[in-house]
Amino acid sequence: MADNTPEFIDRINNPEKYPVIKNKDGSISTHRMAAEVDESGNWFVFPTIVMLPSGELYEFKSNQQAMDYNLRTGNYLPMKDKDEAIDYASGGYKKGTKLEKMGQPKE
């Protein structure tokens, strides 16, 4: 993206504009975020489900494959440490977004 904002951020903020993956249990997935550290000790978060140029979602088989792809394409966020990275990847990215309520029963 021109402003260096990772592509997945728009999918988090505007999930209604994008496709989803339907899971075997009937739930849906949009990102499946992961947190990994590189050989220099830098922590990153990135999606293991990415939007391909064709507009389809693709799910990587491993975090390493996803990390390699996302670091190459700029579709990641650097994190200050392990705790921040794990917190974000394990659901912190949904806080305060439409994804937080997505899939929940309407009140």
pTM: 0.86
Binning pLDDT at 50, 70 and 90, where does residue 103 land?
low
Task: Give the contacts of 31 (CB within 8 A, at least 6 positions apart).
Answer: 8, 11, 12, 47, 48, 49, 93, 99
Sequence-distant contacts of 67-75: CB under 8 A, at least 24 apart:
67/34, 67/36, 67/38, 70/6, 70/44, 70/46, 71/38, 71/44, 71/46, 73/7, 74/1, 74/4, 74/6, 75/6, 75/7, 75/8, 75/46, 75/47, 75/50
* Tens of pLDDT, residues 5-58: 999 999 999 988 999 888 888 888 888 999 999 999 999 999 999 999 898 999
Give, in order, the Cα–Cα distances in Å from 76 to each of 17, 45, 48, 50, 104.
Answer: 20, 6, 11, 11, 27
**What pLDDT, on the 0 to 100 scale, is given for residue 107?**
36
* Tens of pLDDT, residues 49-97: 999 989 899 999 999 999 999 999 999 999 999 999 999 999 889 888 8
**What pLDDT, on the 0 to 100 scale, is given for residue 63?**
95
